[in-house]
Structure 1
């Protein structure tokens, strides 16, 4: 059965608390608003999954989560929707409880049995539970078209077997981008293992709900003449009709997010990173290029035939803001740059990788990560409102999304202390978004990339083929002897 462990946060916190019964709140920013619109449709649920070989200390885990909420008050927030103003805000009522949901073997087995691939032995139970968590419609009220003061963070513990447990945090992407999720994971591991017994975390929020990214962009960086904004909006709109994609398998059935992992050993990863460094690019360019080429290879096209694909590159803007933020400022502080690329059968990995990376880098040098932010947010919301404007109402805005920089993680004593066997961090993408969203990590020198896609718009077999082909393309390119 499932149980709930519920306690209230410490009222004796040193933070300045509002008077009893009074709530703190702030309106969401433009980017946060887009995520609030997207999450009910299936894009914008961030999940951190930890696979443990030791039973978690539940009271300690509960206490740790409360400590992290006190350190990062945005994690105490609820998403509030004002139907009259048709706008959202972060509502932070005093001392709300966090519920730690605990599922025993029977309840966990029911969750696994509900998975579309419940009988597929090639998909681990941990993997199935992660997909179960990422598809829970947390922020959708069936009796209301939007939200109903729902928490932004949930925590669950699954008993997978007599020797395996899964700990999952489910967060609204508006308050937790990939950088924030990584910081949260590190703080959680350090606190739960006793490495921070003195409570000395590197804190960026200063006990407050931080401002949205739009309020922190340096003066002049987001400026764009009205005529230029109009031309860019027209260009984005027209290009969207010309973009090619993967073959849609089922464009009519309800959609869910599924995930496949692309992994490389340390030797191959080292060669990939060296190949990127040699060419003055980052690994995001190589991943995007491999995805584009693998997609084209999946189609029976004449060699000379070119297709145009869209690539969205996400970059963490914290260090570029005014004032600069640290990685421990929780919230959504990424921006996106959309570029299109024409591909034929003659294109090679490194040529496409350089085109992908330098197109992004040049756009960033021209401040398009700031100046185009409102344009892309607007178009994202328009796609949500009018899915028919996208091919087969698929709501696909690009073929691929990648992050400018991977997350680097190394083994720590905290992981051994907790019996941490595996962990995955990714976000849902079956509403508006790309066909494949890459969440890459270099873990102990090895590439581990979570590839999220909408099912059944695309099938798991289809994506397995794409990921297999991507790895083959990458390995083939880095094994070529340099002349």
Structure 2
């Protein structure tokens, strides 16, 4: 961190952050939180609240600087909060919704979310101007419905950080209503913190030269053997779209109960259902197997040095890539146990730390050389899941605030999985946003795929 008196503080991005800085221009790594309100939000209050976030979390009050001579990036912290909410009136919002209309009926909240996922202000890094990392827009739907959309560069905001931001925003709204709540100042950070690589405990991230070479070769060779969903359109420009899967409280409780009895996590069941659904979609005869890759993302905050809280903003997730042979006819829970065991064995060997550099390198190589991936699709796995879901407890005050619904996820139409699952347990119900690249996969195709995942889960608890 630069400490020159009177000069803005800055630091170079770390390796993981750099991989996101390279991925975002191509369309992967745009994090969006879309919140639906049934009452007109207090715009000055929201503006003030979001700027308090920036003051309390310097990484959100930073801008991204690109050095064209060295093709490097750095975070430069602004001396005062810069966020300005951009309002869209009913007519402007209607035009946006119309531009994203399709043959399939899609709720306005989802259309606004997709619009924001594909609004890439970081597409062409400009060395003459620092780029904002945190942006906000307020859309007025017909009647009394409003959508607040927060768009953030993923290098400074992983899923845990996005969830913390939303909880802090609700806490501030509770304060405004005169209710005692945790203040955002309690989560204040004094300066832009270190990247994840600089916080890995000594010895946990080290790997010998030959071991790294063998692992890199293994990842590279395995990638040519991986199967995927059938591609629909590999030539047209891409964007990120979502399919939302929701389950009632009864089915959710039964699924979580089965996960507990099998000593696995919901993420393993989601990944297993996706693997089975993909193989089934190809209508292979039984015993014809394919190899699929799944990626499990884990929040490393509690394992870092120093230990970071869930409200510490930044990107502190790491990925573990595991492959599975699927031949059809698999039992959901048996496969889910295999998926969970594969992930946990790797995590217990600290591969989420030791393989971090390998996966970042391969991600950047895929960006630079799309031809290294099947049909130049930039697909690196079939599915990505998060080790743990986000739990959103019921809150009666939200009804008074007019807070009706929200969806949070990140774009994947550059490099990444065929489908990324962002799961939430909300009021005891599964609410999962599946993000995918369109038209590499069509809406109809992905709706059928997600319906297949849901059907497999429901069959597993029948």
TM-score normalised according to structure 2 size = 0.96
Matches of 1:147 and 1:226, distance apart in 2: 39
Indicate yes or no: 2:32 matched with 1:51.
no
Q: 1:120 to 1:207 in 2, by over 3 A?
A: farther
Q: Give the alignment partner of residue 162 of structure 1, picking from 129, 143, 162.
A: 143
Match of 2:203 among 220, 233, 240: 220
Indicate the residue corresponding to 1:267 in structure 2.
Answer: 250
Distance 1:242 1:470 in 2: 23
Q: How does 1:154-193 map to 2 (within 5 A)?
A: 154-193=135-174
The 1:235/1:288 distance shift into structure 2, 3 A limit, reads same
Structure 1 residue 122 displacement after superposition = 1.8
SS at match of 1:242: coil
Deviates more, 1:83-92 or 1:264-273: 83-92
Change (3 A) 1:34 1:414: farther
Q: 2:108 aligns with which of 122, 125, 137?
A: 125
Q: 1:28 to 1:205 in 2, by over 3 A?
A: farther
2:121 maps to which residue? 138
Gaps spanning 5+ residues in structure 2: where?
Answer: none
Structure 1 residues 161 and 20, CA gap change in structure 2 (3 angstroms): farther
Does the 8 A contact of 1:79 with 1:147 survive in 2? Answer: no
Between stretches 278-287 and 194-203, larger displacement belongs to 194-203
SS, match of residue 99 in structure 1 = coil
- Secondary structure, in 3 states, of the residue corresponding to 2:167? helix
| Cα separation, 2, equivalents of 1:476 and 1:65 | 43
Aligned length: 459
* 1:207 shift after superposition: 2.0
Alignment match, 1:29: 14
How much does 1:162 deviate? 1.3
Q: Does 1:233 align with 2:216?
A: yes
The residue number in structure 1 matching 2:93 is 108
Shift of 1:415: 1.4
| C-alpha displacement of 1:413 | 3.5
Q: 2: CA distance between counterparts of 1:367 and 1:121?
A: 44
- Equivalent residue, structure 2, for 1:93: 78
Q: Deviations over 1:373-418 (max 9, x none)?
A: 0000000000000001001100000000000000111121341232
Question: Deviation of residue 147 (structure 1)?
Answer: 8.8
Q: Does the 8 A contact of 2:55 with 2:81 survive in 1?
A: no
Going from structure 1 to structure 2, the CA distance change for 1:95 and 1:281 (only over 3 Å counts) comes to same
Deviation per CA, 1:228-281: give whole Å up to 9, x if none: 100000000011110000000000100000000111100000000010110110
Equivalent of residue 448 in structure 2, options 465, 475, 482: 465
CA distance in 2: counterparts of 1:389 and 1:119, whole angstroms: 32
Secondary structure of residue in 1 paired with 2:74: strand
Answer yes or no: is the 8 Å Cα contact 1:189–1:414 preserved in 2. no
Q: What is the alpha-carbon distance in structure 1 between the residues aligned to residue 451 and residue 298 of structure 2?
A: 26
1:72 aligned residue? 57
Question: 1 CA distance for matches of 2:88 and 2:79?
Answer: 28
1:7 is matched with: none
Q: Where does the alignment leave 5 or more consecutive residues of structure 1 unmatched?
A: 1-16
- Report the Cα offset of residue 193 of structure 1: 3.2
TM-score by length of 1: 0.92
TM-superposed deviation, 1:121: 6.0
Partner of 1:150: 131
Go from structure 1 to structure 2 and tell me whether the alpha carbon gap of 1:145 and 1:98 turns closer, same or farther (over 3 Å shift): closer
The 2-side partners of 1:148 and 1:462 are apart by 41
8 Å CA contact 1:249–1:456 kept in 2: the answer is: yes
Cα deviation, 1:419-470, whole Å, max 9, x if unaligned, reads: 0111000000000000000000000100000000000000110011011111
Q: Structure 2 CA distance, aligned partners of 1:205 and 1:122?
A: 42
**Helix, strand or coil at the partner of 1:250:** coil
Separation in structure 2 between the aligned mates of residue 281 and residue 477 of structure 1, nearest angstrom: 14
Partner Cα distance (1:198, 1:103) in 2: 30
Cα distance, 1:119–1:296 mapped onto 2, change above 3 Å:
closer
- What is the CA–CA distance in structure 1 between the aligned matches of 2:26 and 2:290, rounded to whole Å? 29
